[in-house]
Amino acid sequence: MKILAVSDQVVEGIYSLQIRERFGDVDLVVSCGDLPYSYLEYIVSMLDVPCFFVHGNHDQPEYMSNGNTLTRPGGWVNLDGRTVMCRGTLLAGLEGSIRYKPCAPYQYTERGMAYKVWHLTPALLLNRLLWGRHLDILVTHSPPFGIHDGQDWPHRGFKVFLNLMAWFRPRYLLHGHKHIYGPESWRTRYRHTEVINVYPFQVIEW
Ligand SMILES: [Zn+2]
């Protein structure tokens, strides 16, 4: 299984004809949010594999030169709050960041995100019955609390993601939201899960 994950920033080597040479062998693509929908549509049209996304806190309608407005990336499946089996891999997603502006879209309080996790739980328990495991890959925009997150409030991670990893043991948690400016490690093991900061892209293979 080979996965291309993208997040937060457009990468020239992906948004060009080189994409097929470099990533033509991936089985699926995930986006952790905060990317132009037109970029995501370019990826799905060039690679022609299943693509799954969650919204980031900066996602907003995109006005195209032909007069159309994109409110989501065409050809991509929104993973928020649901779980999907694709090519033998169980995926689930949770969009958005911690709430730092009242009424802004794709932002949640810690309590609001806990509610979303609670809603997702029956589907994960059903996965366990059907497939013998709850989840392989959790796709989020925000990092978990204390792992790759920031000291400033808008980049603070969610505590409930720590519980989710403890309870459902995904193999990977892929997130974006926190841009890399230093030499810190961006792959961190937490219990049974490898937490990976995707910004601006990562290839995951197993
Ligand atoms: Zn973000």
- 178-194 pLDDT, tens per residue? 988 766 668 999 999 99
Q: How far is the CA of 7 from the centre of ligand 1 (A)?
A: 9
- Ligand 1 centre to CA of 141 (Å) is 6
CA of 179 to the centre of ligand 1 (A): 9
Amino acid at 36: P
The listed CATH number (3.30.1300.10, 3.60.21.10, 3.10.150.10, 3.40.190.10) that belongs to domain 2-205: 3.60.21.10
Strands in 172-175's sheet, in edge-to-edge order, are: 83-86, 89-94, 137-140, 172-175, 193-197, 187-190
Query: Which residues have CB atoms below 5 A from the ion given as ligand 1?
Result: 34, 56-57, 177
pLDDT in tens, 83-137: 999 999 999 999 999 999 999 999 999 999 999 999 999 999 999 999 999 999 9
| CA 24 – CA 41 distance, rounded (Å) | 16
**What percent of the chain is modeled with pLDDT above 70?**
98
| Strand-pair category, 51-53 with 28-31 | parallel
Residues in contact with 101: Cβ distance below 8 Å, sequence separation at least 6, in sequence order: 107
Going from the Cα of 155 to the center of ligand 1, the distance in angstroms, rounded, reads 8
132 C-alpha to center of ligand 1: Å?
A: 33
**Domain locations along the chain:** 2-205
Q: What is the band of 160 on the pLDDT scale with cuts at 50, 70, 90? A: very high
